[in-house]
Chains A and B, each alone.
Chain A
Amino acid sequence: MSAVNLAHPANAMNTPLPAAPSLQHQIEGRALRSILLTSLAWVSALLASVPLISVLYMLITRGGARLNLEVFTELPPAGFELGGGFGNALVGTFVMVIIGAAIAIPVGIMAAIFLAELGPYSRLAALARFAAKTLTGLPSILAGVFAYAMVVLTTGTYSAPAGGVALAVLMLPIVVLTAEEAMKMVPKIMKDAAYGMGSTNTQVILKVVLPTAMPAILTGVMLAVARAAGETAPLLFTALFSNYWIVDGGHLAAMSPTASLAVLIYNFSGMPFDNQLELAWAASLVLVLIVLVVNIASRIFGKPRF
């Protein structure tokens, strides 16, 4: 821009020809268009922030109004009952995310080690990388369909493990791809130094690569956890929902339907009763807070140390 402005007066002085005013017009036109486009960019950026502000406003005003200790300790209201909470759904969400993580994290990190360190250029790695990328785009409902066919129909019941398997399918590709990226970022010199001391592959990976890449790997794990915590579709017909605690009268009702926050929100959002709607908003607020805390934690963990 400045270059054009500098050139302009010189041009105008040396050539008092009819061409000069037209050049000036052109410059004004260009400047005008720049201003227009800049304002357009501002407007669209602000417009894009409106939904977030609106969602947060609704969550805080409508969900916050109902948020109290009772919602964390009580069971969901039955039918037309007043009061109640979603304590069991909160526990259910935690249990299923932990089951999902217990499957996805070890498998995912081992796979990432293979992809990044052991055979990055092998055919198996290329195929597995492609598979992981394909899985990231898998509609979450299909993970539910899969877990239904694999777990629910074979065990004969809706259950927390079935929900956990469905969530693991969604978490796995995130863990694999971020962990692979993280390990690739580890400087080659560090590895070479370790190899030079006669370390085995395993020693290099466990003592050099993993500790160095750990913050970034944790970021990936956290992102996967955050995504899983908010998923509804895969739980609809794997874990279903329950009106009771998963630990009930001193025993663990593991192989029976299990509640989750996301499914509770879905169920209650379609209800015509104000009490359930208020709880749906309060549960949404809690769910968003959990997801945000995990996201922020991933940022704090994820600060690169090298």
Chain B
Amino acid sequence: MNKPFTVALAPDSVCQPPSRTDIYVDRSFRFLARVGAIAILTLVVALVLEIGGKAVPGIQKYGFDFISGVVWDANTHRFGILPAIWGTLYSALMALLIGGFFGVSMAIFLTQDFLPPRLSAVFRIIIELLAAIPSVVYGLWGIFVVIPAILPLADWLNATLGAIPFFASTLSGPGLLPAALVLAIMILPTIAAVAQDALRAVPLKTKQAAYGMGATHWEAILRVMVPSAATGIFGALVLGLGRALGETMALAMLVGNSNQISLSLFSPANTLAALLALNFPEAGPNEVEVLMYAALVLMAITLVVNIAGSLLMSYAQRGNK
């Protein structure tokens, strides 16, 4: 095996054939790398099995009623998570509406030559800092800044527009709106970052062509750039939604933890993640199985959304090439 190399090598060459140790090290190194890759797969499988497996008794006992039920009462062993699913989706969609608008505007603002590079770097850092602040700090801030700030506005909206179902109740501290607002701020950086990448990926020629045809700055943005980057921007929104669905601490601190289904933005609500955070530490065996069932539902929802998001992203990347 070594012979052809030795023949080809000059005595003073830096090139050397692999020694026996080199080959041995190489084999074990490659083996270890493969183990690393397998470990990730195993982790995902273990997560699904661990949570799914522990949920099986709950699924057998409560079946689909668990998802459509509206009562959570450990005393009478009636468990239903429809209010929590509703709260999870409602708060996440509200957050997406607000965070999506600001996130995409921010991405346009930063990529479409509105600012000198230095200033746009400042804004970019601001967004990245928003992403770096821990969830629990947002929760604290929400309790002491957001809720007192929106209380008068909520009272006014309820008094004047109370007939509209969105404003049908008064805000009494924690509730859906403060939770959704804070959630919107938390997903804004994700959306802004991914949407920026999507907009930057549009070839310069496309924009130049639009200008060449006499489009104004905004016509070029709204009719050419945004549609060209649409798949990527949509992917950004879906990933933001995925993040909003799984967010735990800020919501557990702000949402009010009340099992009810209401359209009103000012009502207290509940979410799956908050339900888990608050009930898991005290769950007996009967409750662990239903909480594992709830965890499975949460995992399923976030998985579907996140996979959809990453598929969209890879589709968008392929489209640009």
Contact = CB atoms under 8 A, between A and B. Distances in A.
B42 to A, nearest CB: 9
B273 interface: yes
Contact of B137 (A44, A173, A197, A287): A287
A292 interface: yes
B32 A280 contact: no
A145 B22 CA distance: 43
A138 interface: yes
A41 interface: yes
**For this complex, into which size category does the number of interface residues on chain A fall?**
35 or more
A125 interface: yes
A197 B14 contact: yes
A59 B50 CA distance: 39
A254 interface: no
B22 A48 contact: no
Interface residues of B, number: 94
Given A30-B216, A52-B126, A287-B137, A45 B106 contact: yes
A217 B102 CA distance: 31
Describe A's contact surface by its main secondary structure.
helix
Contacts of B138: 55
A220 B14 CA distance: 34
Contacts of B302: 137-139
A244 B190 CA distance: 37
B83 interface: no
Interface stretch (A12-20, A67-75, A81-89, A262-270): A262-270
Contact of A114 (B5, B34, B114, B127): B34
A236 B298 CA distance: 18
A245 interface: no
Given A111-B36, A149-B50, A284 B126 contact: no
Q: Of A52, A127, A150, which is in contact with the most chain B CB atoms at under 10 Å from its CB?
A: A52
A44 B101 contact: yes
Given A109-B36, A139-B245, A232 B15 contact: no
Contact of A131 (B41, B103, B127, B217): B41
B100 to A, nearest CB: 12
Given A55-B133, A200-B22, A232 B249 contact: yes
B280 A237 contact: yes
B259 to A, nearest CB: 18
Q: Of B37, B105, B280, which is in contact with the most chain A CB atoms at under 10 Å from its CB?
A: B37
A38 B102 contact: no
A163 to B, nearest CB: 14
B80 interface: no
A110 B36 contact: yes
A137 B134 CA distance: 16
Contacts of B135: 230-233
B153 interface: no
A140 B130 CA distance: 18
13 contacts: A47-B102, A52-B133, A58-B145, A124-B41, A127-B41, A137-B306, A139-B273, A141-B273, A145-B295, A230-B136, A233-B135, A269-B139, A288-B133
Interface of A: 1, 3-4, 7, 30-31, 33-34, 37-38, 40-42, 44-45, 47-49, 51-52, 54-55, 58-59, 106-115, 117-119, 124-125, 127-128, 131-142, 144-146, 148-150, 169, 172-173, 176, 197-203, 205-206, 226, 229-233, 236-237, 262, 265-266, 269-270, 280-281, 284, 287-288, 291-292, 295
